[in-house]
Every structure is written in C-alpha cells, then in structure tokens.
Structure 1
Amino acid sequence: MDFSYSDEQRMLAETLERLVADQPAPERRASQPDLAAGQCSPLWHTFAELGLLHMPFDESVGGLGGDGTDLMITMQALGHGLVPEPYLAGLLLPGDLLARLADADQRARWLTPLLEGEHQLALAWQESSARYDIHAIATSAQRHGNGWRLDGSKQLVMGADAAAAILVTARIAGEHPDADRLGIFLIPPGTPGLTRSDYRTMDGQPASDLILESVTLDGQACLSENAAAALDATFAVGIAALCAQAVGAMQSSCEQTLAFLKERRQFGTPLSTFQTLQHRMVDMHLHLEQARSMAILAATSLDRPAPERDYRIAAAKAYCGEAARFVAEQAIQLHGAMGMTEECLVSHYAKHLVMFDHYLGDSDYHLEYVSEHLSAA
C-alpha cells in the first residue's frame, strides 16, 4: 500500500510543524497565566483561522471534510509538541457527536460556534462503576413535563471547566428493562443541580467530576434518545486520534533521549557509544514504529463496517498503550534521576504517555475486547 501523503497533506504537516515549534515548551508553561473560565487561548483562535477546527468534520455540517489521515497528521503534530489545547476533548469528541445527532437548530447553537473557535465543549461519559464501557451507564434520564430530569455522576470529564456546555450520557428507562436506551444531553454550566469538582490529571490536563441531582432540562437539551451507535462511532474517531497523538509524543521522547545520550558523557565517552544503551534505544524505536503502524491502521479503518472498525481500533489502542508506557519508562531511565524532574522536558512527555493508556480504555480493556472478538469468530 502507498502511505505517502498527498500535496495537501504534506502542506498540512509542514504548517503544523512550524506552528507547534513556536509554542512554549511544557516545562515553561507553568509560568503562563491561566485563562479565565470559558476563554479560549490565542493558539485555539489560530487553529480556527487555519481551518484546523473545521478539518475533521464533514462539509455538510460546515467542516472541510478531512479524512482519518488528515486527523492523524494533526494529532501527531499536537502530540509531538505536547500542545495542551483540548483538540480531542474540547472539539473532536463533542463535535463529532453533534455532527451525527444534532438537528439544525442545535448545530447552529453549539456546533457552528465550536468550529469557529468561539467556545469549547466537553463530553461526560465515564462512571466509577462502568470501568471503560461507554454503554454501562448508571446516570438516569426521566421525562419531566416537556423536558428531562437527570440524576447520577460522571468522572474524569476533560475540559469541563472551560466548556460552554457539557454533553452527558444517560440511560433512558423504557417500559421494560431491555428497552433502555442511551441518550445524550446538553447541559450548560451553572445549571441548577449540577455540581462540578475540578482537578488536574497527572499530566496537568484540567478534568472534573460531576454530580447531577435532579438536573432539569428542556426538550431541546436532548441530542438523541438512541445514541448508542453514534457514540460507538465517535469513540472510534477519538481513539484513532488519541493513538496518533501518542505516536507524536513517543517520537519526541525518542528524539530527546537520543540527543541526551549523544550529549552526556561518561568516562570521557558519549553515552550513545555504549552498546547496552544503543540496544535500549533500538527497542524504543521499534515500539514507536510498530505503534505508528497501528495508528495508521486505526486512522484508515474509520469508514469500515462497525464490527471490523471497532476490532481494529481496539487492537490499535491496546498496542499503542503498551508501547507508550514502554517508551515513557525507557526515556526516564535513560535520562537518569533528572528524567523525573519538572525541569526536564522528557518527564512531561512520560506523564502524558502514561495517562494516554488510561484515557478511552486502557490496554487490558481493549485486549479483552480483541480476545472476545477472536473467540466469537
């Protein structure tokens, strides 16, 4: 197969490389002022001006019609520079659901401003009792007059503190237990009954836990009352994007580690001449290239039938998760004690790569899915 980029894709990759190179390094971002709630960064507005926010969405909803490869190029560049803007959590996941489920009025209210860079959104799906199963939802939604009432809780909602609205998954009870459906609801911040606890993940990303106690919404707040298939498709896109982002971060970790070994000297000799360390660098690059192949597989599988798509996506996430942890651990060890310090750039990449394995399902979870698929086949 021909994996070479088209002229447009090469231009996209070069533009992103220059854009990311101009951003502050992670170890210097602590000195940057925090943005006010709901405010987007100057870089986010630059993304909008360049069309990067429109790129992954279909032309029918105001996007540019980019495919999985375009998304992979974008996410690899963001991962390589460890760009903190929530392209995945604040744009791709909630925006993809809106594009699939929203009516014309909901798109005009929420999706169009999202693509223009005017606001960000968030998706609340994870619950404490569900592990990573997006269908095992305990949060309930019940009819309340002409609207809805939601009760439950959500964990690890990325970017909820800056979101103009949060898309929340909830179980809609039917007349029979087997008739339960999965719904998606739009909840603006400050809605009565919604309590948010903010914190930072281990790699410094803003996240929140939500408690919903008799949250009352009008009828327009419901995106869909039967969103299971759309949620599966959106998560496939998100996992493919996440794998590409991890590949970019792994590549940067390998580059930093090799540069350190060439510069650092012991007994008057660069560390890069030690054969044992050369073997470890080779192992890191092998994991990187195999993860890159799996990320390509994921990106090119998004238009496949759902069972084949989900199997390939799960296999890619399982391998990329293992590779990310291996590269992170090796990078830290080869840097020595300084690799654990905040001042060392590679430590920020290592924390990001470890966190990657736990977002949208860890390696064990996806390996179980692959195993079940093979057993059924």
Structure 2
Amino acid sequence: MDLTPSDEQRLLRESADRFIAETYTTKLREHNAREPFGFSEAIWKQFADLGWLALPLPEQHGGIGGGAIEVGILMEAFGRGLVSEPYLSTVVLGAGLVAEHGRDEQKAALLPQIAEGTLRLAFGHAERAARANLSRVDTSARKDGDGYVLDGAKVAVLDGASADQLIVSARLANNGSGSLRLFLVPRGADGLTLADYPRLGGGRACNLTLQSVRVPADAMLGADGDAYPAVEAVVDRALAAMSAEAVGMMQTLTDKTLDYTKVRKQFGKPLAANQVIRHRLTDMSVQVDEARSMALRAALKADADAAERGRAASGAKAKIGKGAQFVAEQSVQLHGGMGVTEELDVGAYFKRLLAFETLFGGSTHHYRRHAALSGRLVNA
C-alpha cells in the first residue's frame, strides 16, 4: 500500500501548520477561554473561508469530498494548536450524521450551511447510565399528532450551547420495536434545558434535559429505520479524527520537552546529557510514532465494513489513550514544577489528553470492544 501523501494532502498539511503557527497562539487560546462559547467566531469564519468546514462534506452539497485522511491531517494540526473551535462536534459528528443518515432534502438544506459556517450542530447521545455503551439510550420519543415528543437527558454534549441545532438520539417507544432515531432540536426549543460548562483542556460541553420537547415530523433525521448503524459509523470516524488530534498534542509535548531538556541545566550540564533522560525522550518518541501509525490505520479503515472499521477505531483509541498518558506524564515530570504552572502550556496539553482518554470511552472499554469485534470476547 502506497501511503505517500498526495499533492493536495501535502498542501493541506502545510496550510494547516502555517495557520496554527501564525494565528493560533497562546494569546488567542487565552482569549477563547474568556469567550461565552469558548471559541472565536472570527476564527470559525476563517475555517469556512479556508474550506476546512467543507472538507469532508459531499461535493453535491457544497463540500470538497475529502475523506478521513484529510480530516486527520487537519485534526493533527488542531491538536498542536489546542484548537477549541467546534470542528469535531459540527463537522465530524453533526455533518457526518446528516450525510450518513439524513434524507436528501435534509442534506441539501443543512450541509451547505455547515460548509459556509452559518450553521453549527451538536450531537446529544451519551447518557449517564450508558457510560461508553453507544447502544444504551433511555431518552424516549413518542408520536404525538403530526410530530414527536422527546423526554430524557444527555450528558457531555460537545459544544451544545453554541450549536444552532442539536441532533438528539431517542428510542421511538410506540412503534413496536423501540428502534433508535435521531431528531433535530433547535437550541431554544420549549422544554429543553442546557447546563453549560468548560471542558478539561479547552472548549465547552453541556448537559441536556428534555421535558416534553415537541418537534415536527420532519425533524426526524432520515427516513424510517434504526439509526444505530449510522451513529456507530460516525462515532468511529470521530475516534479516528480524535486520534489524529491526540497525535498532534503528543508530538508537541515531545518537541517541547526535548527543547527544554537541552537548555535546562543541572549540575552544570543540560538535562539531555543524562542517559536516563535520553531514554525517556526516546520512549516518548516511540509512543508518538506508534500513535501516528494507529491513527492513520483508523483513518484508512473509516469506510470499511463495520467490524473492520470498529477494530481500527477502537484499537487506535485504546493504544493512543495509553500512549498519550505516558507522554503527558513524562513531559510534566521532565519539566519539573514548571510543567504544572500557567507560565508554560504543557499543563494545557496534559489536560486535553486526559479529556481525550475519557471521551467516547476509555482505553479499557475500547480494548474490550476490539476483542469483541475480533471474536475473542463475548458480551463486551
């Protein structure tokens, strides 16, 4: 298999790297943290102008038609810059669900707006009792006249407070099967309550409470049929994108730590002159290279059959989760007390990698899912 990047992919990487290096500075991150939604509207508009919001969307609906590899290139750069804009929630998850499961008229109405940067989506799926189990959904939907009524609660909805519309999963209780459905719910809908809070390492999330939230019949995303296969497919692609983002953070921490140990002197010599320190730096570099390989594999398998795609996504999430923890801990330790101060951004990368480990399930969950999909574990 030829893994040499195409000319377009090289240009995308150069463009993203240049943007992050020149624009996404520590000062901008500090500014974003003070913004109501945790990101800059001006930067979001720049993302649209650069074509990044349209990158993975179908060409017939205003997109560029890129795949998981291109998204991974962009997300790795976002990881290096600790980007807090809602790219994962709107483009990867939200637009991904519309493209995967929506009706033609819904795709035509929503996807061009996402590409232009005028519409933001968030995906409300996780529930407190479900933990990392995607199939456990207790939120209910019942037919009521010419629409539906939703009741339930969602947790850890990425960028939910800044979304124009929320895609909410619910079990359709009165159709005899209890199949999973997706509904488009406006942020200001009656009966919808949002509890917004900052995410560890930047960005924001919220919890949702739905009490007799009424939506019209055309608010159901897609035609009749269980939405779970679409949810699983899109979350697997999100795992691939998150894995690439984690690689960017791991590489940055390794580079920063290497540079620090070259200039920080102890007993008259740089820390990097110590053989034990060099071994630690080597171990960090090995973890980064392994993580990059796993993230690339997850991206390459993003459009494979469900089992193969799931193994690649869960394998990447599990492996990178452990490797990211090692790199983050080593970076903080080798920086000494400076590693946990606000003077350096090492602590911010550390926090974001901790958040990566828990989002959509930790390493233990994904080791078990990988084993189950490989036929080595029953009832995972």
**TM-score over 0.5 for the alignment?**
yes
Match of 2:185 among 184, 187, 198: 187
> Is the contact between residue 39 and residue 162 of structure 1 (CA under 8 Å) also seen in structure 2?
no
Match of residue 25 from structure 2? 25
Match of 2:214 among 197, 208, 216: 216
* Greater CA drift, 119-128 or 53-62: 53-62
Q: Provide the C-alpha distance between the structure 2 equivalents of 1:14 and 1:38, rounded to a whole number of angstroms.
A: 26
Equivalent pairs: percent with the same residue?
39
Letter in 2 for 1:220: D
C-alpha displacement at 1:375, in angstroms? 3.6
Change (3 A) 1:373 1:175: same
Change (3 A) 1:21 1:316: same
Confirm or deny that 1:204 pairs with 2:209: no
Q: Provide the C-alpha distance between the structure 2 equivalents of 1:190 and 1:311, rounded to a whole number of angstroms.
A: 38
> Is the contact between residue 194 and residue 211 of structure 1 (CA under 8 Å) also seen in structure 2?
yes
Secondary structure, in 3 states, of the residue corresponding to 1:282?
A: helix
Secondary structure, in 3 states, of the residue corresponding to 1:357?
A: helix
Q: Provide the C-alpha distance between the structure 1 equivalents of 2:110 and 2:299, rounded to a whole number of angstroms.
A: 26
Encode CA deviations 1:18-41: one digit per residue, 9 max, x unaligned.
Answer: 111112434663245844669962
Matches within 5 A, 1:230-245: 230-245=230-245
C-alpha displacement at 1:136, in angstroms? 0.5
* Greater CA drift, 80-89 or 21-30: 21-30
Letter in 2 for 1:269: K
Letter in 1 for 2:368: E
C-alpha displacement at 1:60, in angstroms? 3.0
C-alpha displacement at 1:199, in angstroms? 0.6
Matches within 5 A, 1:99-114: 99-114=99-114
Match of residue 348 from structure 2? 348
Match of residue 334 from structure 2? 334
Matches within 5 A, 1:143-162: 143-162=143-162
Secondary structure, in 3 states, of the residue corresponding to 1:223?
A: coil
Letter in 1 for 2:329: E
Q: Provide the C-alpha distance between the structure 2 equivalents of 1:323 and 1:129, rounded to a whole number of angstroms.
A: 28
Q: Provide the C-alpha distance between the structure 2 equivalents of 1:13 and 1:163, rounded to a whole number of angstroms.
A: 28
Letter in 1 for 2:67: D
Encode CA deviations 1:306-363: one digit per residue, 9 max, x unaligned.
Answer: 1111112111111011111111111111111111112211111111111101112210
> Is the contact between residue 54 and residue 62 of structure 2 (CA under 8 Å) also seen in structure 1?
yes
Letter in 1 for 2:186: P
Q: Provide the C-alpha distance between the structure 2 equivalents of 1:230 and 1:59, rounded to a whole number of angstroms.
A: 20
Q: Provide the C-alpha distance between the structure 1 equivalents of 2:338 and 2:34, rounded to a whole number of angstroms.
A: 27
Match of residue 307 from structure 1? 307
Letter in 2 for 1:77: A
Confirm or deny that 1:134 pairs with 2:134: yes
Change (3 A) 1:297 1:33: closer
Match of residue 373 from structure 1? 373
C-alpha displacement at 1:6, in angstroms? 1.0
C-alpha displacement at 1:97, in angstroms? 0.5
Letter in 2 for 1:167: I
RMSD: 1.8
Secondary structure, in 3 states, of the residue corresponding to 2:374?
A: helix
Encode CA deviations 1:199-251: one digit per residue, 9 max, x unaligned.
Answer: 11221321101111111111111103421111111111111101011001100
**TM-score, scaled relative to structure 2:** 0.94
Q: Provide the C-alpha distance between the structure 1 equivalents of 2:40 and 2:217, rounded to a whole number of angstroms.
A: 29
C-alpha displacement at 1:370, in angstroms? 1.5
Secondary structure, in 3 states, of the residue corresponding to 2:180?
A: strand
Q: Provide the C-alpha distance between the structure 2 equivalents of 1:8 and 1:104, rounded to a whole number of angstroms.
A: 29
Q: Provide the C-alpha distance between the structure 1 equivalents of 2:88 and 2:76, rounded to a whole number of angstroms.
A: 12
Letter in 1 for 2:162: A
- Count of matched residue pairs: 375
Change (3 A) 1:261 1:376: closer
C-alpha displacement at 1:374, in angstroms? 3.2
Q: Provide the C-alpha distance between the structure 2 equivalents of 1:216 and 1:237, rounded to a whole number of angstroms.
A: 30
C-alpha displacement at 1:253, in angstroms? 0.6
C-alpha displacement at 1:70, in angstroms? 1.0
> Is the contact between residue 27 and residue 345 of structure 1 (CA under 8 Å) also seen in structure 2?
no
> Is the contact between residue 124 and residue 167 of structure 2 (CA under 8 Å) also seen in structure 1?
yes
Change (3 A) 1:142 1:238: same
Q: Provide the C-alpha distance between the structure 1 equivalents of 2:28 and 2:94, rounded to a whole number of angstroms.
A: 30
> Is the contact between residue 37 and residue 161 of structure 2 (CA under 8 Å) also seen in structure 1?
yes
Q: Provide the C-alpha distance between the structure 2 equivalents of 1:252 and 1:243, rounded to a whole number of angstroms.
A: 14
> Is the contact between residue 77 and residue 245 of structure 1 (CA under 8 Å) also seen in structure 2?
yes
Encode CA deviations 1:246-291: one digit per residue, 9 max, x unaligned.
Answer: 0011000100110110111111111111111111111111111101
Q: Provide the C-alpha distance between the structure 2 equivalents of 1:305 and 1:104, rounded to a whole number of angstroms.
A: 23
Matches within 5 A, 1:105-124: 105-124=105-124
> Is the contact between residue 48 and residue 116 of structure 2 (CA under 8 Å) also seen in structure 1?
yes
Secondary structure, in 3 states, of the residue corresponding to 2:303?
A: coil
Letter in 2 for 1:141: A
Q: Provide the C-alpha distance between the structure 2 equivalents of 1:337 and 1:37, rounded to a whole number of angstroms.
A: 31
Q: Provide the C-alpha distance between the structure 2 equivalents of 1:189 and 1:28, rounded to a whole number of angstroms.
A: 27
Encode CA deviations 1:111-168: one digit per residue, 9 max, x unaligned.
Answer: 2211111131111111000011111000000101110000000000110111101110
**TM-score, scaled relative to structure 1:** 0.95
> Is the contact between residue 24 and residue 81 of structure 2 (CA under 8 Å) also seen in structure 1?
no
